C-alpha cells in the first residue's frame, strides 16, 4: 500500500490507524530539536532538489504564459477570475 492509498483510506475511515500503520516503519528514535532542520532537509522530496521543480520564467513573458495556459488546458483546469461581490469580500 502506498502513502496516498493509506491516506485515502484513513480519510474514508478515520480512527482505524491505517495511516499510523503505514508510517510506523518510518518512525525512529527521538532526536534533539536542534537536529530537526538538518534531518528534514536530507529527506528525499523535502530537500528542494526535485527533478520536476523548474521555473520557466516570468509569467508576464508571452511564451511562459502560453506554456502555462497549455498546461492548464491539458489538465482540464479552469481558473475563475476573482470578483468583488460589493460587500467588501472577494
Domain boundaries, given as residue ranges, for the chain: 3-75
pTM metric for this prediction: 0.38
Nearest of 76, 74, 56, 73 to residue 64 by alpha carbon: 56
- pLDDT, one tens digit for every residue, the chain (90 residues): 788 899 999 999 989 999 999 999 888 888 787 777 777 767 766 666 665 656 778 878 889 888 888 878 877 777 666 666 655 544
pLDDT score for 31: 79
Gyration radius (Cα) of the chain, Å: 21
Question: In Å, what is the CA distance from 1 to each residue of 10, 25, 28, 38?
Answer: 12, 13, 20, 29
Amino acid at each position: 500500500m502506498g502513502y496516498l492509498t493509506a491516506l485515502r483510506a484513513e480519510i474514508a475511515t478515520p480512527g482505524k490507524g491505517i495511516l499510523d500503520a503505514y508510517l510506523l516503519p518510518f518512525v525512529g528514535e527521538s532526536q534533539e530539536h536542534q537536529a530537526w532542520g538538518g534531518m528534514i532537509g536530507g529527506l528525499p522530496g523535502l530537500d528542494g532538489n526535485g527533478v520536476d521543480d523548474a521555473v520557466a520564467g516570468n509569467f508576464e513573458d508571452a511564451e511562459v504564459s502560453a506554456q502555462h495556459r497549455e498546461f492548464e488546458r491539458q489538465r482540464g483546469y479552469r481558473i475563475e477570475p476573482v470578483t468583488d461581490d460589493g460587500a467588501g469580500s472577494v
